[in-house]
Copies of this chain bind each other. A is one copy, B any other.
Amino acid sequence: MTESFLYLTRLGIDTHQEPVVYMREDCHVCRSEGFDAQGRVEICSGKNSIIATLDIVKGDLLSHQKAGLSEAAWRLLGAAEGDKATFRHAPPVESMAYVRGKLYGKPFTEEGARHIIRDIDAGRYSDIQLSAYVTACAANNLNIEETIHITRAMVEAGQRFDWGDGRIVVDKHCVGGLPGNRTTPIVVAIAAANGLTMPKTSSRAITSPAGTADTMETLTRVSLSFKKMRAVVEQEGACLAWGGSVSLSPTDDIIIRVERALDLDSEGQMVASVISKKVAAGSTHVLIDIPVGPTAKVRSAELAERLANALRDTGEALGLRIKTIISDGSQPVGRGVGPALEAYDLLKVLQNQADAPADLRDRALAVTAAVLEMGGACEAREGLALAKKTLESGKAWEKFQAICNAQGGLREPPVARFTHVITSERTGIVALMNNRVISRLASLAGAPNAQSAGLTMHVRLGDTVESGQPLMTLHAEAAGELEYALDFYAAHPEAIHIEEEVV
Contacts and interface: CB of A to CB of B under 8 A. Distances in A.
A264 B134 CA distance: 15
Interface stretch (A112-120, A363-371, A472-480): A472-480
Given A13-B57, A131-B132, A135-B132, A478 B34 contact: yes
A31 interface: yes
Contacts of A167: none
A44 interface: no
Q: How large is the interface on A (under 10, 10 to 19, 20 to 34, 35 or more residues)?
A: 35 or more
Contact of A128 (B33, B37, B131): B131
Number of chain copies forming the complex: 2
Interface string A226-245: 00000000000000000000
A254 to B, nearest CB: 12
A34 B135 contact: no
Interface string A11-30: 11111110000100100000
B479 A1 contact: yes
A89 B446 CA distance: 11
A432 interface: no
Nearest to A445: B34
A136 B262 CA distance: 12
A299 interface: no
B16 A37 contact: yes
Interface string A283-315: 000000000000000000000000000000000
Interface stretch (A100-108, A145-153, A187-195, A316-324): A100-108
Given A4-B480, A16-B37, A105-B139, 13 more contacts: A16-B38, A32-B480, A33-B480, A34-B446, A55-B70, A58-B71, A88-B484, A89-B484, A103-B139, A126-B261, A128-B262, A129-B261, A135-B135
Interface of A: 1, 4, 10-17, 22, 25, 31-34, 36-38, 55-61, 70-71, 88-89, 92, 96, 100, 103-105, 126-132, 134-136, 138-141, 257-258, 261-264, 444, 446, 449-450, 477-481, 483-484
The 4 closest A-B pairs by CB, nearest first: A12-B59, A131-B131, A12-B58, A135-B135
